[in-house]
Amino acid sequence: MCPHSPRLEIGKKVIQPSKPEWGNGTVLEFNNTDVKIRFEKVGLKIIRYKQAAIPLKEGYWPPPISEKLIKKLNPCLGYYIPRNQLSQDRFSEEILRIKNKDLEVTKEYANQIINILKFPIYEDYLRSSIICVAPSSDKDNLDTGIKKLAHFLLKNLSLVDGIDLLIRTESIKKASNGGPRDKALHISTISIEEKNLIKNKNVFLIDDIRTTGTTMDACEYLLKEAGALQVIPMTLAETIYVKDYKSQPNHEARIPQKTYYQEKINCLNKFNFHMKNK
């Protein structure tokens, strides 16, 4: 047996690291010379130990993304100032235009996100991931601005359409309007269509504005309960409140959105250079 191969067992999950396009494999049979594996993308493969140039590895593809990289996606584009807190800046106004399905602004910011997610450190993890959108607090609001943006991402990235998988079954009050911050309530009012689509897959979960975080937390919980391997959350913007804004003179919410975006790109370039030269 190849010394770098895992200890084989029927039903064990394996990958061929240099062949991610094969997807995840399940060991069906093995003997002293070869192993029979069914890969999700290419079907049945028989790998002979002595002839295998690429050793098997136990686990799933892609490997888990680090919390550090997930943190860089939240917020992805900047900070949102609520209307009743301070005078809104241009970015906050344009986030509302995205919510109101302004396609010109939506495409502009979708392109910023695409530029971020095309860095190899994200693209490798997100390839063939399911893209899901956090549902509106209003169960009848099915055609949301964030879904429009998700469709732009779907066209330009190697993602699988799961945009409508998460459904609000009962309307609740928005958190920004004093609504509940109870994760359990969100869990009880959101359902997942076609759970089999996300089983053993990575899920890219997106929303427009993170206010309390309970909606995203509930969606992440439900997706993992349904069998998702890993949930990678991303919000376009995060709410900044007046007390935090005024008490933190160096807070990132104070810099123009274009500067915030460019600093993120610069940071990712440095990270990418470091990984290449490791």
Contacts of 152 (CB under 8 A, 6+ apart): 106, 107, 110, 111, 114
Q: Express each pLDDT in 66-116 by its tens digit.
A: 888 899 899 999 999 988 777 778 999 999 999 999 999 999 999 999 999
- Lowest average pLDDT, out of 79-88, 155-164, 219-228, 258-267, goes to 79-88
Is 57's pLDDT higher than 70?
Answer: yes
Q: What is the dihedral of CA 180, 184, 186, 190, to 10 degrees?
A: -160
Q: What is the dihedral of CA 213, 214, 217, 219, to 10 degrees?
A: -120
Mean pLDDT of 221-231: 93
* Residue bearing the bigger pLDDT, 193 or 106: 106
Q: Express each pLDDT in 237-262 by its tens digit.
A: 999 988 888 899 999 999 999 999 99
pLDDT of residue 124: 81
Closest CA to 245 of 236, 237, 253, 235: 253
pTM of the model: 0.79
pLDDT of residue 134: 97
